[in-house]
Amino acid sequence: MQAEEVKRIVESQIQDSEVVTAGEGCNFEVTVISPAFTGLSPVKKQQMVYGCLNEQIASGAIHALTIKTYTPEQWAALN
C-alpha cells in the first residue's frame, strides 16, 4: 500500500478533509485536518480515521498507523 492511497481513502470519507501522509509498505502516519472534527474528543477523532481504514487494517495492508487530528483552527494555530 502507498501513502497516496491512504490519503485518497481518508479524504474520500471525511468531509472537507486535508490529509498529509507519510510511510510505506504497511506502516503509516496520517495527519488529518477537517472541520468535521469540531467539538469531538480526541478519541472520537481517531475513531473516525480508523473507521475509514478498517478494511485495510483488517486485511493487514496497514499494520501500524499513527494518527494526528486537527480542526482547521487547531492546525492554523500550530502553523
CATH number of 3-78: 3.30.300.90
Distance CA 63, CA 71 (A): 26
Query: 26-76 pLDDT, tens per residue?
Result: 999 999 999 999 999 999 999 999 999 999 999 999 999 999 999 999 999
The model's pTM: 0.93
Q: How are beta strands 27-33 and 64-70 bridged, if at all?
A: parallel
Is the predicted pLDDT of residue 79 greater than 90, yes or no?
A: no
**Residue 1: predicted pLDDT:** 87
Torsion of CA 74, 4, 9, 28, to 10 degrees: -70
- The CA radius of gyration of the chain, in Å to the nearest whole number, is 12
Distance CA 79, CA 72 (A): 11
C-alpha cell at 57: 487494517
